[in-house]
Amino acid sequence: MFRMKTLPEWTDLRYFLELARAGTLSGASRRLEVEHTTVARRIDRLEAQLGATLFDRSREGYELTEMGQALLPHAEAMEGAALAAQDEVSSNQVSVKGVVRLGTPEVLGVMVIAPMLARFLESHPDLSIDLLVQPRFVNLASREADLSITLDAPNTGRYMVTRLAPFRLYLYGAPSYLARHPPIRSRADLVGHDFVDYVQDRLASNELHFLDELGFTPRRRFCCTGMSGQAEAAAAGMGLMMAPPYVIPKDGRLVPLLQDELFAERAYYMVAPVDLYRLPRVRAVWNLLRALPDTQPELFRLP
């Protein structure tokens, strides 16, 4: 248990949260826009106030101790209350303002969501968006983002979760590739073909095992951690690939194959920590994205 000599200040707990999330003094100082020595001094003061060691220090960085882990949810609750109070007070002047960090899959974020957000921001001049597109899904538990779109809905923690969009991945090939190989008229004709896929030991989710739908072990000739790279490789004739319609260029470099016979079905989920979901700025982005599958169904499934 903590042996508090005095009540800790909220600002010290904010420094604690940012160091817990960043793992290094330099990372926390960038987030807080202060010198790293300031972060270290605030953490030392907080530990002295609580009578507990909150971090294990090493050359690699800072890692939460058992006592630090115990403090974390309480500090997050205080952060949520502070953010909610800030939004509540400012709501009399501007309904939606501040920064929202949104984590998305790579191609979905760049090709689909970024254009939506551009139009959306025109009507919300005091709102800013940090769009995080990475080979992995963001970690909401460490508050890398305010909300995220992911293939895996969390089954623990206090989150708002909605099934955003079911989608299908179809088989595609470049006309140049198809011209050099025997015709593909059925699933059985796929054996022996070359395929483009994710790097198998760098998968961000087990839901990315799309080629399991083939029913045989494919010959992967080119693998990439991002689907945009896979699409370019397939369009160059390096092999067949599976992808949702929004990934495929509209210039005819990739054409669908066996679309009524062979496809994989997946779903995107939208997730936000409960305390952040209550913020008007986060809910505004959430509500915008909720409308995506209804306004552009062709992005997720072929006719």
- Provide mean pLDDT across the span 219-234: 95
Looking at residue 80, what is its pLDDT? 72
* pLDDT range class, residue 86, cuts 50, 70, 90: low
What percent of the chain shows pLDDT beyond 90?
53
- Provide mean pLDDT across the span 263-278: 91
- Provide mean pLDDT across the span 266-286: 90
CATH of span 98-165+267-299:
3.40.190.10
Looking at residue 265, what is its pLDDT? 95
What percent of the chain shows pLDDT beyond 70?
93
* pLDDT range class, residue 6, cuts 50, 70, 90: low
Distance, CA of 46 to CA of 52 (rounded, Å): 9
Question: For residue 133, which of 249, 227, 266, 234 has the smallest C-alpha distance?
Answer: 227
Q: Is 6 exposed, middle or buried (0-12, 13-18, 19+ CB in 10 A)?
A: exposed
Distance, CA of 285 to CA of 116 (rounded, Å): 10
Distance, CA of 25 to CA of 16 (rounded, Å): 10
Whole-model pTM: value is: 0.70
On average, the pLDDT of the chain sits at 88
CATH of span 166-266:
3.40.190.10
Each residue's pLDDT tens digit, 173-185: 999 999 999 999 9
User: Which residues have CB under 8 Å from 34's CB, separation 6+?
Assistant: none
Residue 246 in this model has a pLDDT that exceeds 50? yes
**What is the DSSP pairing of strand 255-257 with strand 263-273?**
unpaired
Looking at residue 85, what is its pLDDT? 65
Question: For residue 213, which of 152, 258, 177 has the smallest C-alpha distance?
Answer: 258
Looking at residue 140, what is its pLDDT? 82
Q: What are phi and psi of 262, to 5 degrees?
A: -130, 115
Distance, CA of 190 to CA of 95 (rounded, Å): 55
Looking at residue 147, what is its pLDDT? 93
Domain coordinates in residue numbering, the chain: 10-90, 98-165+267-299, 166-266
Hey, do 10-90 and 166-266 end up sharing a CATH topology, with the first three levels equal? no
Each residue's pLDDT tens digit, 11-34: 788 899 889 888 899 888 887 888
Residue 108 DSSP label: I
Arch. (CATH architecture) of 10-90: Orthogonal Bundle (1.10)
Helices assigned H by DSSP within 33-94: 36-50, 66-90
- Provide mean pLDDT across the span 199-228: 92
- Provide mean pLDDT across the span 120-130: 91
User: Which DSSP helix (H) or strand (E) runs through 269?
Assistant: strand 263-273
Q: Which residues, in sequence order, are bridge partners of residue 127?
A: 98
Angle, alpha carbons 293-144-294 (nearest 5°): 5
Looking at residue 95, what is its pLDDT? 65
Looking at residue 96, what is its pLDDT? 81
* pLDDT range class, residue 118, cuts 50, 70, 90: confident
Question: For residue 269, which of 123, 105, 40, 131 has the smallest C-alpha distance?
Answer: 105
Q: Which residues, in sequence order, are bridge partners of residue 168?
A: 265
Distance, CA of 215 to CA of 135 (rounded, Å): 26
